[in-house]
Amino acid sequence: MNKTVRILALLFIAAAVIFAAGCPQRKTIAEIERNPSRHINREFVIVGVVRDSYGLSIPGTPMRGGIYKVDDGTGSIWVVTERTVPSRGAEIAVRGTVGNGVSWSGRNYGLGMYEKNRRYGRR
C-alpha cells in the first residue's frame, strides 16, 4: 500500500506541474507597456477595472463585440472582444493575447489585447 500511495502522489505532482505550466502568466499593464515587443503574440492575464467600453450588439443576429479599456492602477490597455462588452466600473480579470495595432470598427488603438476569456469579481 505504501508503494501505491507514492505512485499516486507522484502522479498528482506531475499533473499539477503540467497544469501550472499551461496557465497564462499574470502581468501588470505597466510590465506589458514597458517592453511591448517581448509580450506581443503571447497570452497573459490582466486584472483591473473597466474604464471605457464601446460595443455593438444587433438584436436577432449573432453580431456583437466591441472594445473596452482596463485600468489596473499601473496603466491601462484596450481589450478587443467578440462578446458583449463589460460595463464601466466592472472589476475584471482578462486572459488574452497581446497585440500591436489592435483595431476595432476602423479605429486603431495601438498596443492592446485580444480577449480569450474573462471573469468578473474581486481582484
Q: Hey, what domains does the chain have and what are their CATH numbers?
A: 25-120 (2.40.50.140)
pLDDT tens digits, one per residue of 55-78: 876 667 676 789 999 999 999 999
Cβ atoms of residues 41 and 32 within 8 Å: no
pLDDT tens digits, one per residue of 11-61: 666 555 444 445 678 889 999 999 888 989 999 999 999 999 998 766 676
Residue 61: predicted pLDDT: 66
Q: What are the b/e assignments for 28-65, b being 16+ CB within 10 Å?
A: bbebbeeeeeebeeeebbbbbbbeebebeeeeeeeeeb
